[in-house]
Chains A and B, each alone.
Chain A
Amino acid sequence: MNFLSNRLRGSIVTLLFIVCVGCDRTPPVPPSGTSPSTSAGGVAESKAATEAVEQKGKTANSPSKAVPSPPHVTPIFIDRAQELGVDLTYFTNAVPGRFFLPESMCGGMAWFDYDLDGWQDLYCTNGSILIDPDPNDKTHTHHIYRNQAGRRFVDVSALAGLQHNGYGQGTAVGDFNGDGFPDLFISCYGPNKLYENNGDGTFRDVTPSLGERDPLWSTGSVWADVDSDGDLDLYVANYMHVNWKTHKTCSFGGKPGYCGPGEYQAQPDWLFLNEGDGRFRECAEEFGFVGERGNGLSVVWADFDYDRLPDLYVANDMAGNFLFTRSGIDPKKPGQTPYLDVAPRAGCDVSGQGLFEASMGIALADYDGDGKLDIYLTHYYHQKNTLYHNLGGMLFEDDSYRTRVATISHERLGFGVITFDYDRDGGPDLIIANGHVLGPEQIPWQMPPTLIRNNTHGKFEDITPFAGEFFAKPALGRGMAAGDFDNDGNLDFSISHLDQPIALLHNQTKNTRRWIGLLPLTPDRIKPVGAQIRVTCEKESRLHHVWDAGSYYSVSDDRLLFGLPEEGKVTVEIDWPDGRHDRYDDLTPENYWIVRPGQVPRRLGSEAP
């Protein structure tokens, strides 16, 4: 303790408390703070301080150390990628000390049944050489694994003609030519790729049909019938202007790392309108798909207000998210574009406090059973993941605190996210791939994935500690896609990593409750986005909304899974986007069913859809 009073005499004029304006770069203090991050130096200092106090405070009853109680159904997930034949580590081409941002993003995957044999196949994007790549390089190609009846995956990339060697990011699966076979779009850092499914197990490159344009950094994408003409158009989110000219390295706590979105210019997104003759026309601006600033990473196509006109939601990294809608717009009004971004007035562009959040992945579900589709977004470390509760009428509220989403996610940096009902109790649960982005010099870096249970009473519980070995292991998780590869009614997952091979999480959870799976298709054999499916059994009734895309860079199994009570007859009712209502009373549980408007459902496996 210093003895200072002799030195602290004097009047104001002596100014003992000389202000040091410009001495540091600490942001203004709350509540007026603008950034969730402190100055780099401050972070390092505070960590040391934290340790000191934590040591001191060990005797305190800290709820942060509280052990959660085990869930009623034990989740069992086993990584069987290698054993089943999926053996790919995303090639980032990361060079130590270079910190070129694309290296830190990794790539997505797609679960889809490309050969219509009833088994979900897996497409995995891959990276490539970032400087002067060889166009004929076959070392770092994308891969497609054919599912052999859930017992084995075989790499058929060469056979299928899917050996793209661009720096892959995301995927979008959709039957753009209406021939019944799913086609494949691959977004890249650099030129994108469009493959048409030939229907014979092979694909052909039809990228020129997208037209010629300078490549951008394309990320999330979705096939969506934005003009309601019955064929699928393609929305592609673009990220930021990062190239060797704009590249920079940032310093965090005196150590170098990858710069964030604040350091680069955003890129506009693209809309490729399907002209119906095998060609596409880019017309994002014409359709109103423009926002103030979009560092887009993920997109979803869903009908948030049930007007049978689906909307498009774009998750932007440290910028306001977009919600493009046709609702309430008079297209005949002069100068009016078909779509308008209403996210600010809908309350789903920024956090409830008005903060930009680093939106990475998206998952949709009706979390509270009120019949409305809510939005879950993964965000940056020490931000929070955000749950936008849909209030109806295109209005949302940030419900992250009340639901405990905020506190569960606070120590994680989330990317891929999927909603699924692991315990079949009707409450959508969440699985999230996590991992930091700043670089290996920073702490934290690797992070374990998260499994979160919806307790069906408006709150979420972190059940990660009970989910087994894979969930205890820190990694740099990025992409995540879901597909029930063995058709057992338990949803399985693939997760891409920056630092280790793709994981294939086989869901072996033992449930006493039953399940039923549905694959709804429109007469045009596309996903009926906006359809509402109600499944009733005994006294339980669940409503599911059909939507597309989401997660991070990835595509999941189109089939929908519903948990059912142990006994009782099942009734399925579907409100189709065209207004038709169908009811099915004779669907047997523990099966997947293909349902089309006005047609008799067919059991998957009995006939190709």
Chain B
Amino acid sequence: MKLLVRGLIVVGVLACAWMGYVVLRAQRGLAEGERLLKRNALQAAHRELRQYLWLHPRDARGLLLEAEVLTRDESIDNEIAIQQAMALLNRIPDSDPKGAEARGKQGRLTYFVEHKPIAAERYYRKAIELDPEFVEYRYLCWKLLDLSGRSEYSEDLFWGLYERVSDADRPVLMREWYMSQFFQSTANPMADVLMGFKDLDKPVQMNPEYLRLKENRDSEPEEPANHAALARWFQHDGDHGTALALLEAGLKVPGADHHPFFLAVLLETLFERGELDRAKQYFQNWPEPHDGYDYWHWKGMLADEADRDYEGAIDAYDRSLAFWPGPVDWRTMNRKANCLARLRRADEAAAVRKRSKEIELQMDLDVHKELREALADQNLREREYCQKLLKFYQVLGREREVEGWQKVIDFLPAKSPGN
């Protein structure tokens, strides 16, 4: 009996020792997993972190690291890995100090792996809401808007980001902002390469922007914005018929006929096709808030073209021009000038037309060719190049960009004499 008791004590001690060892190991698993992850020893890191999470199933840091391992480990089936990673990240509540990072990571997975831009945007925006100082997800959210054909809505994101980065990072941001403003379709070529929409080795291939927008629509067909972005690509390519066919298909998505971006694209297409009555009907669906470039632009267009209410059109055009891309929208300025002329306000019309012409000249391809050549200096070391951008934005009357480029110039190291 004694022997049995002694035996049990020994076993108990051993079990406790084993348990202690396991707990201690698991406790160390977090640090070990992180170390192994850094060394790209993904399988080993996975083991360590699994043990740690067994003990601490709600530990945000562990969950983040394990999600990272899963997304990196290409030996695991893609779909399963992403599913598991998303499930782990979901366990981190918004209220957790790591909540913002978790939402941001979910955003990244949702877009760059699942190609669902609208869901990804929601994650990013949540991350930004939870931690306004988290610049990485501001940046990615801005890029997401470029990549999903909606860069005109990124102004707040950009300036929010700009204000939060160091002086050293700002020159490059300003360069990317120019591309986002004027060349959204090709603003992020490396993303297209990494996501498989562009092959640098193929001289002739399908348009990457088309492929990307189509993939967005196919991956997330329940989102009206994806239908609209693809339709707008056709619309701007001059293929109004296909644009309208895509929009008609998109209208079957619940909520599409009340979605501002979808409505903006639909109105543009209906307008081109002369279906002004239908455009007016859809405009009635515009949801609150009744504000922003698109809302006022289309209110103005319909007042101008469908109702011949020139006073109303001028008011709406003025409001639309206050929002980006209004300041460079010389076509709407020209429409406003025409309305003024019809109201016999010739002097005002001439002034607006003059301004429209000034902006139009700034949108000339040769002007942008020169600017892009200036920007091709990756390190933006040449004062002369930066001055070109500064002057360009001065003509456009874009004070913040002017200030931004002035800071870039101020940040440049002074040239030593003789250089």
Contact surface of A with B, Cβ cutoff 8 Å: 1-8, 11-13, 15-36, 38, 41-42, 44-46, 48-50, 52-54, 57, 60-65, 254, 344-345, 347, 350, 352-355, 382, 391, 393, 395, 397-398, 401-408, 410, 459
Q: Does B139 contact A (CB under 8 A)?
A: yes
Q: A12-B173, A34-B364, A401-B305 are in contact. Are A2 and B194 (CB under 8 A)?
A: yes
Alpha-carbon distance A19/B245, docked complex (angstroms): 33
Q: Does B238 contact A (CB under 8 A)?
A: yes
Q: How many residues of B contact A (CB 8 A)?
A: 97
Q: A8-B108, A18-B190, A401-B274 are in contact. Are A1 and B113 (CB under 8 A)?
A: yes
Q: Which residues of A contact B211 (CB under 8 A)?
A: 49
The 10 A-B residue pairs with the shortest CB-CB distance, nearest first, are A64-B241, A354-B334, A404-B274, A45-B207, A382-B238, A62-B245, A353-B331, A21-B375, A6-B72, A20-B189
Q: Is the CB of A5 within 8 A of B273?
A: no
> Which of A8, A44, A53 contacts B214 (CB under 8 A)?
A53
> Which of A3, A25, A52 contacts B113 (CB under 8 A)?
A3
Q: Which residues of B contact A22 (CB under 8 A)?
A: 369, 372-373, 375-376
Q: Does B5 contact A (CB under 8 A)?
A: no
| Most interface-central of A27, A62, A354 (chain B CB within 10 A) | A354
> Which of B176, B241, B349 contacts A345 (CB under 8 A)?
B349
Q: Does B4 contact A (CB under 8 A)?
A: no
| Most interface-central of A8, A17, A64, A353 (chain B CB within 10 A) | A17
Alpha-carbon distance A91/B353, docked complex (angstroms): 44
Q: Which residues of B contact A4 (CB under 8 A)?
A: 112-113, 194-195
Least CB separation from A65: chain B residue? B241
Q: Is the CB of A33 within 8 A of B195?
A: no
Interface string of B230-264 (1 = CB under 8 A from A): 10001011111110111011000000000000000
> Which of A18, A35, A63 contacts B244 (CB under 8 A)?
A63
Q: Which residues of A contact B190 (CB under 8 A)?
A: 16-18, 20
> Which of A5, A54, A61, A64 contacts B71 (CB under 8 A)?
A5
Alpha-carbon distance A32/B234, docked complex (angstroms): 17
Q: Is the CB of B238 within 8 A of A3?
A: no
Q: Which residues of B contact A18 (CB under 8 A)?
A: 189-190
Q: Is the CB of A60 within 8 A of B306?
A: no
Least CB separation from A43: chain B residue? B237
Q: Which residues of A contact B71 (CB under 8 A)?
A: 3, 5-6
Q: Does B402 contact A (CB under 8 A)?
A: no
Q: Is the CB of B360 within 8 A of A34?
A: yes
Q: Which residues of B contact A391 (CB under 8 A)?
A: 342
Alpha-carbon distance A26/B276, docked complex (angstroms): 30
Q: Is the CB of B240 within 8 A of A407?
A: yes
Alpha-carbon distance A20/B179, docked complex (angstroms): 9
Closest-CB distance, B408 to chain A (whole angstroms): 15
Closest-CB distance, A249 to chain B (whole angstroms): 20
Alpha-carbon distance A141/B239, docked complex (angstroms): 42
Q: Does B363 contact A (CB under 8 A)?
A: yes
Q: Is the CB of A29 within 8 A of B176?
A: no
> Which of B183, B344, B360 contacts A29 (CB under 8 A)?
B183
Alpha-carbon distance A449/B337, docked complex (angstroms): 35
Q: Is the CB of B185 within 8 A of A29?
A: yes
| Most interface-central of A25, A50, A60, A65 (chain B CB within 10 A) | A60
A–B Cβ pairs within 8 angstroms, 24 of them: A2-B194, A3-B81, A5-B71, A5-B109, A6-B72, A7-B194, A19-B188, A20-B190, A25-B369, A31-B325, A32-B325, A32-B330, A41-B204, A46-B210, A53-B234, A54-B245, A62-B241, A62-B248, A63-B248, A65-B241, A254-B204, A397-B342, A406-B272, A407-B240
Q: Which residues of B contact A407 (CB under 8 A)?
A: 240, 272-274
Q: Which residues of B contact A35 (CB under 8 A)?
A: 365
| Most interface-central of A49, A350, A393, A410 (chain B CB within 10 A) | A49
Q: Which residues of A contact B274 (CB under 8 A)?
A: 401-408, 459
Q: Is the CB of A12 within 8 A of B139?
A: yes
Q: Which residues of B contact A398 (CB under 8 A)?
A: 338
Alpha-carbon distance A162/B240, docked complex (angstroms): 48
Least CB separation from A410: chain B residue? B240
Least CB separation from A11: chain B residue? B136
Q: Which residues of A contact B143 (CB under 8 A)?
A: 17
Q: Does B96 contact A (CB under 8 A)?
A: no
Closest-CB distance, B152 to chain A (whole angstroms): 9
Closest-CB distance, B215 to chain A (whole angstroms): 9
Alpha-carbon distance A61/B251, docked complex (angstroms): 11
Least CB separation from B375: chain A residue? A21
